[in-house]
Structure 1
């Protein structure tokens, strides 16, 4: 397998993992939880979803052939409360992720060194993918942090729970 193919598969796998973390977080929340805003300077989960989905749809629609900042995108509106229901927010989340994953799955190895544009800035495809590998997990982490604040002691851990690292490591070593 080529390094290019490995990179694409790894990027898709890592991004799918972060989508899954978001999905598992949303399952723990009520409709109202999506709109909880910790303070005026912070975004609610709803706003983070609106922004992330807006970014994904803009960046990954016609990824190789048009600027990643589409004329139809209104980024500022993404940061305004739209009063969407939990279902509408999850549908928007899914639409963004589907656009991203479809675009990544359509890339060929030789596409990685092509030049694309975001806000008229030229980037190699590999750099654009790396850029989003940093951007989307950043926002998923924000979503999880706000959700943990809301759910407090009812939070269902998504990874290794505090104090369970040794137990987890032993389980992994047993699987070898």
Structure 2
């Protein structure tokens, strides 16, 4: 289970890095762009993720993950005034996650925590949140790719580059490693 905790932290860092790279490629106006009525801009997705992270990870071993102070519906109203403000919120959300999970040990993983009064093992709660964040970070990357068009540089294996990527990988010695070690 120690490998689970190590892998989890690496995986969360990977998704944060994808978001970081996407945000870095875009202007503040790009981050606020909505493509259809009731769609979410990257700024709104960031605001929602931050609200979720702060609620879920603040005192997560001792308090319900849906805090009374959270205003989820307000997360879907973009009121960022600068890119720096958006980035600060983004980093504050991720900091709350890493501060909560980094000190965990194997004995914590089977503890029961609650989200909206629904019991979860810590492992289940971590998995739930990781999938939620991956879902939204994927949306951010996709929106960024649409905005940048041909200027977009892939954050993974670029189209038509699988053969070259695999050739490079298979030239390396076999050894245990997390796939994010190369990112």
Which TM class, normalised by the smaller chain length?
A: over 0.9
- The total of aligned residue pairs comes to 173
1:157 positional shift: 1.1
**Alignment correspondent of 2:58:** 61
CA displacement, residues 12-47 of structure 1 (integer Å, 9 cap, x when unaligned): 111100100111111110010010001113100000
Task: Give the gaps of 5 or more residues in structure 2.
Answer: 174-183
Contact 2:55–2:67 (8 Å) recurs in 1: yes
1:84 positional shift: 3.0
Contact 2:80–2:86 (8 Å) recurs in 1: no
**Alignment correspondent of 1:92:** 89
Is 2:109 the partner of 1:129? no
1:106 positional shift: 1.5
Task: Give the gaps of 5 or more residues in structure 1.
Answer: none
SS class of match (2:134): helix
The RMSD of aligned alpha carbons is 0.8
Is 2:100 the partner of 1:106? no
- What does 1:35-74 correspond to in 2, within 5 Å? 35-74=32-71
Q: Give structure 1 regions of 4+ aligned residues with deviation exceeding 2 angstroms.
A: none
**Alignment correspondent of 2:166:** 169
Distance 2:125 2:157 in 1: 31
Distance 2:36 2:77 in 1: 14
